[in-house]
Amino acid sequence: MLANLRGAVLPLSRAMASGRAMSETEGASATLIQSTRKGFARDLSVGSINYMACPELIRNLGLGDRFDAHRFRMLHPDGKHLIAHWFERAWSKRGCASEESFEPFIFCWIALNGWAACCTELDQDRQWLDALIESPEVRRRFETLLEGSEEIRQIAERFRSYWPVFKAQELRRLGALAYWHGDRPQTIDHYLRAGARQLSPDCWLRHHAAHEDVPLDFPHTAVALYRVRCNLFHGDKAPHSEVDRILVSTSFRLLAEFLNSWDLLR
């Protein structure tokens, strides 16, 4: 089933490339300044917004002005209906039990893929993801979402408590992939001792070494969600820690609430 869904995403995102021509970013042009603070933060300043993002999280720099939410509103009704349909299938399951959240998470991701490809006019996953990560508007929307609901903040914090999310393929190659019923810190320690280094958020090791919390913002959350998505889409015969039901259900709820904040069903 996953392979079929995966195949459906690509034509969908290509079909989304027909939005109106890219407009100016709301009210200001973006400037990129390499910050000197500790040498590892980038300052993406747009107007009065000061946006610091860990550089490890961004693969494609300079896409911060590609996101334009208006493109989705201008999309052809058939394309809009298709994306809304995937999202509705996910949104209707937001109260489901954690063990039933795998399928709605994938439906949600398909909706995200179509919506983001439309709003950025970028087809490749890491490109539209980076465009969202670098967008001050997207980051602000996520912050507002967490500030406006204690329930959603708690879901986000629970999701963060599982970070980092490891790349299951690397764990398998290391012979370390496990279904861990113990606590998450014990699982993380097990994987790090086995030599795992492909993990999300990518800056987690640096934050951890500095004894600081990983910021609960959109850039860090987005790359962790993408890792969950990749682990699910690449599939394994047996369940394992990196597609743990709590990890997937918190991912699903958070992603669904984020997409809902953009009125995809309107």
Instruction: Report how far Cα 255 is from the mean position of its chain's Cα atoms.
Output: 7
* Cβ proximity to Zn ion, 1 vs 210, nearer residue: 210
CB atoms within 10 A of CB 132: 27
Q: Which stretch binds Zn ion (CB under 5 A): 29-37, 73-81, 181-189, 195-203?
A: 195-203
Is the CB of 90 or the CB of 214 nearer to Zn ion? 214
- Return the range that interacts with Zn ion (CB under 5 A); candidates 31-39, 70-78, 146-154, 202-210: 202-210
CA distance 105 to 110: 9
Q: Which of 105, 114, 138 is nearest to 244 (CA)?
A: 105
Interface region with Zn ion, contact rule CB under 5 A, candidates 47-55, 149-157, 181-189, 227-235: 47-55
Which range touches Zn ion (CB under 5 A), out of 86-94, 128-136, 187-195, 199-207? 199-207
- Cβ neighbours of residue 266 closer than 8 Å, sequence gap 6 or more: none
Residue whose CB is less far from Zn ion, 14 or 59: 59
Indicate the residue among 209 and 238 with the shorter CB distance to Zn ion: 209
Shortest Cβ distance from residue 34 to Zn ion (Å)? 16
Cβ 226 to Zn ion, closest distance in Å?
A: 15
> Of these, 203, 222, 225, 248, which contacts Zn ion (CB under 5 A)?
203
Instruction: Candidates 16, 30, 54, 90: give the one binding Zn ion (CB under 5 A).
Output: 54
Q: Which stretch binds Zn ion (CB under 5 A): 2-10, 51-59, 105-113, 247-255?
A: 51-59
Identity of the residue, 119 or 203, whose beta carbon is nearer to Zn ion in the bound complex = 203
CA distance 77 to 79: 6
* Rounded Cα gap, residues 237 and 234, in angstroms: 10
Rule CB under 5 A: say whether 16 interacts with Zn ion: no
CB closer to Zn ion, 19 vs 219 = 219
**How is residue 46 written in tokens?**
């747009």
Instruction: Locate all alpha helices (DSSP H) within the chain, ordered by sequence.
Output: 2-15, 70-74, 77-91, 102-120, 125-133, 136-148, 150-160, 168-173, 184-193, 204-209, 218-234, 245-260
Collect all residues with Cβ–Cβ distance below 8 Å to 112 and sequence separation of at least 6: 255, 259
Residue 212 token pair: 């600081």
Which stretches of the chain bind Zn ion, using CB under 5 A? 54, 203
